[in-house]
Amino acid sequence: QNNRHKHAGYSIMTTMATFSVWLIAFFGLAQAWIPTFKVDQRGGITRLHGSENGDSAWPTLSSSTSTAAVSQSIGQAGTDGYSVTRQPLSRSNWDPNAAPENEAPLLLEDGSQFSASGGGISIDDEQWWVSKAGSTGKSSLEGQKKTVARPTRKEETEEEELDLFKRTFETLDYPRVLRSLREDHATTMPARNILAGRQPSNRKRTDREKNAYQPFLSNSAQSSRERYRAVQEMDWLLKGRDDESCVVLPSQEYFYRNRKGHKESLIGRGAPMGGNSFSLEPILQAASTGGLVLESPQLMEITNAMGQMQDLQSWGKALTKVTELEFVGLPKLAGSIDFNETLYDVLYNAMDDEGRLSGKTFPTVGRLRTRVKALRGDILQTLEGLVQIASVQSKLALESGGALFSETSGRLVIPLAADSKASTVGIVHDTSRSGKTVYVEPTEIVGPTNELRQAEGELRSEEARIWRYLTQNVLANQRALETSLYAVGQLDLVRARLQLGQSWQGIVPTVKEEGVISLRNARHPVLLLRKLDNIVGSDVNLGANGNQGLVLTGPNSGGKTVILKLLGLMALLSRAGVPVPASPGGDPRVDFFDPILADIGDIQSTTSDLSTFSGHMLVCKQVLENAGENALVLMDELGSGTDPQQGVAIAQAILESLVEANARVAITTHYGPLKNLAAADDRFAVGGMQFVRGRPTYKLLPGTVGESFALAVAERLELPQSVLSRANDLLDSDTRQMGELIQELEDQKLLIEEQASEMEEKKRELGRMEFELKERQVKVEKEQLNIRRKEARKFAKDLEEKERVLEDILSKLKSDPSRRIVAKSWDDIKFVKRDALNEAENVPSVLAQKKKAAKAIEEASAEMVPLSQLSDGLKPDLKEGDAVVICKNGPLFGRDGKFVKSNGKRIEVVVNNMNVAFKLSEVAMPPKNRAPMGHQKNSGSPQGKSGSRAVQKALAQERAAKSNEWDASRKSSAQGDGKVAMRTQANTVDVRGCNLMEAQERIKDKFSMTLMQGRGNPTVYVLHGHGTGGVLKSKVRQWLRHERQLVKQFSPADAADGGDAYTRVELK
């Protein structure tokens, strides 16, 4: 019996072994036939092996295939003659010059899990926000699969009541504005998240965090003003000026230094985002919630974003140093960035330029990498040497033509013939399918390979530790990073608000808390976003002049609902800090409203048994419960959908209740009693939509009651004429007459507006023409100025040449002041002077002035008759002191003088306190009614006050020279008579304030000029003053005692000539 049990057990074991072999074979075939895939961390799918058409690389097994053959196939699955575990040598993996690359660990918890692909972590943004919003973290699709019991009637009503605010946004088309901001203007992920109302979980926040996490819509008037302030500051930066105050910001004066130390200008550019999207929330969530280890791509993205945050911080601090304009809003937002410099340095230095862990920062990693590379090089070198040995070459199996070196489980093997005693060469790791070739790891590389595997394991463990360390550092600063991201998003939204406002030529309104909307030429934002043509603007006023309600009237399809939505959107834009599309005239104002409630369109529902009227009443109930002070209520066709009389009564009662709650309300209506409400109640105003020549203009006319024009609208929509005629007959005569009168009045008003518009256009055209004329005048003046400048430059250049000639002459005089040199130099100077004056007179501008001056002289000369031309009977008997006028051309022309005495054909006259002799033809009696000319500046000068400076200087020198000639002539005659020369300005040199050397130079130059005149008994007066202790005076006189070459004698001047403050010097 025991033998039977043993035999039965043996049979069972044999059967199970056979079954196991077939089962293994089956799975091996399945592995080869069916493609095998892996799912990486990114959700991507990668084929491991198996062909796409299902064909196996294995031989087909028939029913006659033996168990031994199947057993031989186990472990041999693969393609191209290689098994699954054995592959050809990868030179990139064994390159001794390449740094080893290891996969980062998958999870933060220490373990053996590693990333399957080594790729980056990528969590979909939508999934991230879903996980943030829900406590379970399940997606919205999973939530939709749940079976929910149908709510009761009460629950349905409560759900619809809670949708009132969402309904308001949708009916006002506010999501369309948000979509434009999100898709067209916002450039960063945090900004888009703020627009979508997504924020991290609620928690107690610091002041810095409150600035970063503020919602897109403000919750106070002050908050709206701060948003607009930041938008205005961004506009100043981009334009480089403030148009309102005309203040210009110097672009070269203000800059900040980026993280690399480079100077970046503040003016002409916005916040330095660097093109970074700042999409870090999915990365942080993957690490904090998913427990995943961050790898190089994610850490580098965090590092780049932090570097840009550092630049934004520096940019915000630099704005506070601008003095021309005060920057407040932008620095406040930039100051909300919580930058951790230590974390930035750790991440920045952790990786090298190729994104791998830096061996310099982490020496252990560098040492292990060096060890791995060295071992790989040694193993390859040893293996290549072995195959060159004759005994080994004789055993190589090269018939298959495959690679000489293969790799199995990280160990290198070579193909040897199965009958060549391969076991003596090394360890057999694999066998070919035919069994004729074995793959052997030579004994010489077994030890080094073991060392390599150990070094690679140590390297992988060290790198895994560092990746976890870096990830944990990031998570420790997650809150600061999230705060900084949202601060960046707020800065991005400032620029987005400005760009959207500029796209529709928006303005920044005044924001208060008094419930006022007052705008000129306001245009509907959504119509502007749709880029429609000929969008009509309207003047809107709500809450101004004490009214709290606005009743909009007019025809169907006339634009009443557009105005209603316009009011709501303007209030929302004001809370969002977006410039509103309106004209800047007047005092544009959009106050803070909260809540903003709108009932536009029907909410009837067959499932909820709601009719049009009951749906409106449901909304009205919620409006009355929520509306209060600072509320804005917009209701379309209030009281419609039921009996007109009862509907009017309910509508008026609702309106009165809302204004009593101090809310602001605007409605549209066709009901006559509501249209007349403004006349009976001062709290309401009325406005009508313009309707001209059977068509609406979509323009609001404040203060007018708009007719419904139902028949005209029906006719425009091509209702049958027979129906229109019958409807017109059914109208009572008063209603029909009133409609015709209103239509005629509207037509006449339009005509007047067209005429006024034409007049305004002509006025603008005249203004443009006047402006163009002024521009041309300025252009001509600039051209004339350029011509004069060219003349002046040319003349100045010529004068410089003359000055060089004069300097040469003076140099000669100083080196050899003999009378011969002086005389020759005097002739040279006269030539230079005549040449300069000729050039000055030939300047075009001077020629024109000369003509004008000559004409004036001619007119003045016509009134003055010289004494020589008077007949004997008309010649006056002049006595000493009688007034005469000089009529000789020159610097004294037109000057008054006093008769002294007559010397035959000459008379002596006192002019400018000097006695001068004139011919009778050079003196005349003063004309009657003539103003004295003795003190007129430049009288008789051909040049007057105009001409270039160089010309005036040259002519002034000419007049001075002629005046000096008169003085010299007078002194010469006086000295010739043996009289002492009187001190004049022409013979005086002022050396006050000079040291002795400077005084000597001035005195010598004056001596030379005096000697060049060639007059007898030349005299010069030196004005040195008394000074402190008379130092300069004593030194000058001491020097004159030794200057015997030119000085004949000297002495203090007479009291009449200035006394001891002057020294009178007679020259040889």
3 state DSSP class of 988:
strand
- Determine the pLDDT at residue 64: 35
pLDDT: is 305 or 94 the higher one? Answer: 305
Compare 504 and 750 and report the one with higher pLDDT.
504
**Residue 55 confidence (pLDDT):** 36
Q: How many CB atoms lie within 10 A of CB 245?
A: 10
Confidence band (pLDDT; 50, 70, 90) for 687? confident
CA dihedral angle for residue 648, residue 684, residue 696, residue 583, rounded to 10 degrees: -150
How confident is residue 707, by pLDDT bands cut at 50, 70 and 90? low
Residues 6+ away with beta carbon under 8 Å from 864 = 885, 887, 924, 925, 927
Question: What percentage of the chain exceeds 90 in pLDDT?
Answer: 27
**pLDDT beyond 70 at 165:** yes
Q: Average the pLDDT over 323-351 and give the result.
A: 93
592: left (phi over 0), alpha (psi -120 to 50) or beta: beta
Q: What is the mean pLDDT of residues 1037-1049?
A: 85
In degrees, rounded to 5, the angle at the alpha carbon of residue 120 between the alpha carbons of residues 119 and 125 is 140
CA distance 677 to 680: 5
For 102-149, write each residue's pLDDT tens digit: 666 667 665 444 443 333 333 333 333 333 333 333 333 333 333 334
User: Using CA atoms, how far apart are residues 977 and 899, in angstroms rounded to an integer?
Assistant: 21
Query: With a threshold of 0.75, does the pTM exceed it?
Result: no
- Work out the burial of residue 479: count CB atoms within 10 Å of its CB; fewer than 13 is exposed, 13-18 middle, 19 or more buried: middle
Which tokens in the block code for residue 723? 């129906």
For the sheet containing 883-886, what is the strand order?
914-919, 906-911, 896-903, 883-886, 923-924
- Closest by CA position to 493, among listed 273, 191, 198, 197: 191
**What are the CA-CA distances from residue 983 to residues 965, 988, 1062, 1065 (Å)?**
15, 7, 10, 11
Using CA atoms, how far residue 977 sits from 905, 907, 919, 981, 1019, in Å, is: 20, 18, 20, 10, 15
Please give the mean pLDDT across all residues of the chain: 75
Confidence of residue 733 (pLDDT cuts 50, 70, 90): low
CA–chain centroid gap for 27, Å, is: 66
The two tokens of residue 392 are 């080994």
CA-to-CA dists, residue 265 to 223, 398, 1058, angstroms: 29, 70, 65
Encode pLDDT of 783-835 as tens digits.
888 887 787 777 777 777 767 777 777 777 667 666 556 555 666 665 666 66
Q: What is the mean pLDDT of residues 315-329?
A: 93
pLDDT over 70, % of the chain:
68
Tally of CB atoms within 10 A around 1029: 8
Sign of CA dihedral 567, 573, 575, 579: negative
Closest CA to 603 of 576, 635, 572: 635
Question: What does the alpha-carbon distance between residue 840 and residue 941 come to, in Å, rounded to a whole number?
Answer: 14
What is the CB neighbour count within 10 angstroms for residue 544?
17
- Bridge partners of 727, per DSSP, are none
Would you give the distance in Å from CA 60 to the centre of its chain?
72
Q: At residue 458, does pLDDT exceed 90? A: yes
Q: Give the pLDDT band (50/70/90) at residue 620.
A: confident
Cβ neighbours around 584 below 10 Å, total: 14
**746: amino acid identity, one letter:** E
Q: Residue 292, Cβ neighbours under 10 Å: how many?
A: 23
Span 369-390, mean pLDDT?
90
Q: Tell me the HSE value of 552 on the side-chain side, using a 13 A CA sphere.
A: 32
Task: Report the candidate in 559, 512, 557 with the shortest Cα–Cα distance to residue 540.
Answer: 559
Residues 879-919 have pLDDT tens digits of: 888 888 888 876 677 788 888 888 877 888 888 777 788 88
- Strand runs (DSSP E) across 213-339, as ranges? 241-242, 247-248, 255-257, 263-265
pLDDT of residue 970: 42
d(CA 697, CA 558): 7
Distance CA 85, CA 77 (A): 9
b/e per residue 978-998 (b: at least 16 CB within 10 A): eeebbbbebbbbebeebeeee
Contact 1005, 813 (CB under 8 A): no
Q: How far is residue 702's CA from residue 552's CA, in Å, rounded to a whole number? A: 9
Tell me, what's the pLDDT at 3?
A: 47
Distance CA 826, CA 809 (A): 9
Q: Let me know how many helices (H) and strands (E) the chain has, helices first.
A: 32, 29
Answer with the residue of higher pLDDT: 726 or 839. 726
Average pLDDT (72-91) is 55
Per the CB < 8 A criterion, the answer to whether 507 and 582 are in contact is yes
Section 1034-1048 average pLDDT: 85
pLDDT at position 873 over 60: yes
What pLDDT, on a 0 to 100 scale, did the predictor assign at position 481? 94
**Of 302-311, 418-427, 762-771, 860-869, highest mean pLDDT:** 302-311
Give the mean model confidence (pLDDT) for residues 42-53: 35
- For residue 301 the two structure tokens come to 């993205």
Q: Name the strand (E) or helix (H) holding 739.
A: helix 733-815
Q: Is the pLDDT of residue 63 over 60?
A: no
Closest CA to 608 of 144, 155, 170, 166: 155
Q: Of all helices (H) and strands (E), which one includes residue 549?
A: strand 549-553
Which amino acid, one-letter code, is at 1013? Q
Question: Which pLDDT does position 961 carry in this prediction?
Answer: 46
Q: Which pLDDT belongs to residue 316?
A: 94
Specify burial of residue 1044 (Cβ count, 10 A radius: 0-12, 13-18, 19+): exposed
Reported as a single tens digit per residue, the pLDDT across 395-439 is 888 766 667 888 888 889 888 888 877 777 888 888 888 888 888
Q: Is the pLDDT of residue 173 over 70?
A: yes
Q: Is the peptide bond before 595 cis (omega within 30 degrees of 0)?
A: yes
CA 286 to chain CA centroid, nearest Å: 35
Please say if the pLDDT value at position 618 is more than 50: yes
Query: Which residue from 991, 955, 675, 690 is spatially nearest to 836, judged by alpha carbons?
Result: 955
- Please write the tens of the pLDDT for every residue from 737-768: 666 666 666 667 767 877 888 888 888 888 88
